Structures are given as structure tokens and as C-alpha cells.
Amino acid sequence: MHACPQFVALRPTLSHPQRSVSLKNCSRWRPSITGFRRRRREASWAPGSCSRVRIPEAIAEPPEKKQERRGEGVYVSVYEPFVRQSDTVIRSGLNFGTSRLRIFGGSSTGELPDRVARYLGKEGTDRIIRKRFSDGELYVKLPESVRGCDVFLICSTCGPCISDSIMELLITIDAVKRAHAAQVTVVVPYYGYARADRLVEKREALSSKLMANLITRAGADRMILVDIHSPQSCGYFDIPVDHLYASPALVRYLMERIEQSSADTNHHGAARQLADLVVVAPDVGGVARARAFAKALCDAPLAIIDKRRSGHNVAEVMNLIGEVDGKIAVLVDDMIDTAGTICAAARLLREKGAACVFAMATHAVFSGPAIERLSEPGLFEEVIVTDTIPVPREKQFPQLRVVTIDALLGEQIWSIHRDSSISRSVVL
């Protein structure tokens, strides 16, 4: 039986002293509906519920590290994002900050939608009914009204049958739109067909553009994507697109991992181990991504692996540009599919004298022989991915670590809901 991976959760903290005033004595709020709406736009709203107006005092400090066991996985809270305290109003038991916020999760996205909903102070995702008829057709129904609500659909287009997850997403968008939601934001942690973003040969389909057209025509008003294969593909959409990077969560986990390792061994300090880091791009196309990681990791040196691809899902490592002898090599990529590229790169790094090799990727596609290759003894110290794609038990192996991006998505969703900037929320 394979060992379960470790999960790294980013959780908010709301334990900060706040001043409170009663709604009755607060001169900012008047019976005028127009004035209320105007002041609602001006105020800063925060997830959660309360019975008073809460006025911000300061930014909460990150709490201490903690561990808690949930189910089979071990969640290690390595970082608590700064949570900006803000005004929250309840009138007659109705939370005007979150009453219009609805979060629905796709069946192919695992537990990530529930984590995001809990991050925003909700008990979980809102209810949705899905059924499959005997002929294979999908049925979607919203049991509760979403009229005038700000709706977020969190659905990765992945799974055993990617076509089913796409159809489920499109049907859900249509159901929400026909239920008169004020705005429909589609959150796609893993965007299927993202690699079909250009025409390599004649008479090929441009599937990435087709996906954008389908989602737009279904009724989506806005998109949130995470580490899409080619950021230029965001231009295929005719609606606003927010492209997020999972690098903040991955970098923070690696920093905590290095600090923990130095504390356990008492041999090298964390600063010394950070100095021994080298970030490696597994191919020339990943240089920009690797450079961003290197800058975040205290301006670590950069190495590049030149590869020649002879066919689909087949890669051959040719040359290493850079020095890795005695270093801690960190391979960075956007996804791990069959793991041919990243495993061949790891073998080359071992041959060139790397002390240990970490693999970091946002999307754990893990198709074909990926698990067998990644779990090879002595090849990787750790394989670090995020939960944009759920990893089933049969695909788990001892070196696997899964970092949740619930805080990343939660901050983005809340910023869109409040019509505020995301720049303060996503910081390396």
C-alpha cells in the first residue's frame, strides 16, 4: 500500500482584536437603500458572519505553525496569509457581505471547492443536484435560488473522462445563467486542452480556442485560470480573464521544507541550504517560469536543460546549461503528465552531481506510466504538486506532497466579489 501524501493547507486567521459598534448607533448607516448601497461599495467586506459592524484595526499576523489530521492525509499549515480585517454588517440575521456569494464545485475537482468555501467563512459549497440518465446524459439543477447572486463555479476540466467534466461545466453555467444570477465567474484550476493552443500542422483543430468559445457562449461572465500552459491563451476569451500562478504556495512550502530540514539535521543552516539551491528549467520553454521561481527563492541560480522532442509525450534530454554539482536542484514545470520529461531531467541532474532533486509542478495530471517513473527509488527527494487536480489513492506514492491553493483562489474570489484589486493577495 502506498503511503499517503502530505497536504499543505493555507488557512486564514481571524483571531484579531476588533472594535465593535452597534448598528443602531452607527451614523454611517442610514435607512436609505441608495445610501446603503453606496456605502456598501465603499466599505471593505470580509468573509464570515457576525452581529455587529466591525471596523478594521490592523492586519492580522500569521499564527504559529500547527498540524491537524483530517481523514487519511496530514495537513501541515506552513503559512497563514495576511487577512485584512474589514466591515461586516448583519441586519435582521442577513449577512450583506456573503449573502449574495454562491460557490459551486464540480464533481471532478475533489475537495478544493469545499476548502475555498470554508476559507471564505462558509460551511461548504452550495448545494447542486447532478444526475446521469441511463443513456449517459447529464442533468444539473440548482435546488435554491441564485437570482441576483454573485456565483462562482469551481470546476477543473479533468478526470477519467475530460469530455464529461467539460459538459458538466457548460450545463452548470447554463443552469446558473437561466436562474438569473447577477454574475457567473468560472474558476478552472486545471484548464483542459490548454496545450492545443497553436496549429503545429495543417488541418488541425485549435481546441484551446474552441474551449474558450464554448465557455463564453454558455454564459460565463468572467474566468479565473491557474497556471495555464500558455498564458497567451487567455486572449482566446472574449470575457475578462484572471490568470493566477500557484508559485506563492509552492515557494512557501519549499522554504518551510528547507527550514525544517536544517532544524532536524543541525548540519547546515537554512541560509546555507538556500544558497545551495539551483532552479532548473526542464526545457527552454520553461525558462521564464523557472526564472520567476529563482527570483522568489532568494535569487537562486538558474540552470536549463535542452531537450529534443521526437514525438508526442516523448522527450530526450540532450544538454545541461548551468552548474548543479553538490547543489539542491529544483525542477519547475507547469504540469506533470507522463513524467517522461521531468524524470529524464532528474536523471541528468543526478549524473551531473546534484545532491538531491525536487520536482515542483502545479498540475498533477499523472497519466500513463507517470506514477511508476516518479516513484523510482532515489530519483526525487519530493514531488510537490497542488490540488488543482485531485490525486486518487491509487496514484499516490511516498515522495508525493500536495499543496492546497484554497487561499489563493479564496483571495481572488473575494476580491472579485468586492470589486477590489488582487495585487495585495498574491505576493511571492
Lowest-pLDDT range, 204-213, 263-272, 391-400? 263-272
Give the span between the Cα atoms of 25 and 18, in whole angstroms: 17
* pLDDT value of position 284: 87
Q: Express each pLDDT in 97-135 by its tens digit.
A: 567 999 999 999 999 999 999 999 999 999 999 999 999
CATH code of 87-246+407-418, in short, is 3.40.50.2020
Per DSSP, which regions of 235-300 are E strands?
Answer: 241-244, 277-281
Q: What is the pLDDT of residues 64-102, one digit of tens each?
A: 433 333 333 434 433 343 333 333 322 223 344 567 999
Using the predicted structure, report yes or no on whether residue 425 has a pLDDT greater than 60: no
Supply the pLDDT for residue 343.
95
* Residue 285 confidence (pLDDT): 86
Residue 307 is a catalytic residue = yes
- Residue with the three cell numbers 471564505: 120
Global pTM value? 0.76
User: CA 220: distance to chain centroid?
Assistant: 20
Apex 275 CA angle, 274 and 278, nearest 5: 85
Which 3 state secondary structure label does DSSP give 418?
helix
Beta bridge partners of 241: 223
User: Angle, to 10 degrees, between the axis of helix 247-265 and the axis of helix 406-418?
Assistant: 140
Spell out the residues 6+ positions from residue 39 whose beta carbon is closer than 8 angstroms to its own.
Answer: 28, 29
The dihedral region occupied by 298, where left means phi > 0, alpha psi between -120 and 50, and beta the remainder, is left
Look at residue 421 in the predicted model and tell me its pLDDT: 81
pLDDT at 331 over 90: yes
- Whose CA is closest to 337, among 304, 306, 363? 363
Domain boundaries, the chain: 87-246+407-418, 267-404
Residue 31: the pLDDT is 39
285 phi, psi to nearest 5 deg: -65, -20
| Sequence-ordered list of residues with C-beta below 8 angstroms from that of 64, at least 6 positions apart, any chain | none
> Is 391 within 8 Å of 408 (Cβ atoms)?
no
- Compute the average pLDDT of residues 180-207: 94
87-246+407-418 and 267-404, same CATH topology: yes
Percentage of residues in the chain having pLDDT higher than 70: 71
Contact between 85 and 46 (Cβ < 8 Å): yes
Of residues 34 and 165, more confidently modeled: 165
**From 307, 327, 352, 395, the catalytic residue:** 307
Residue 302 CA from chain centroid, whole number: 25
CATH 2.30.110.10 fits 267-404, yes or no: no
Q: How confident is the model at residue 385 (pLDDT cuts 50, 70, 90)?
A: very high
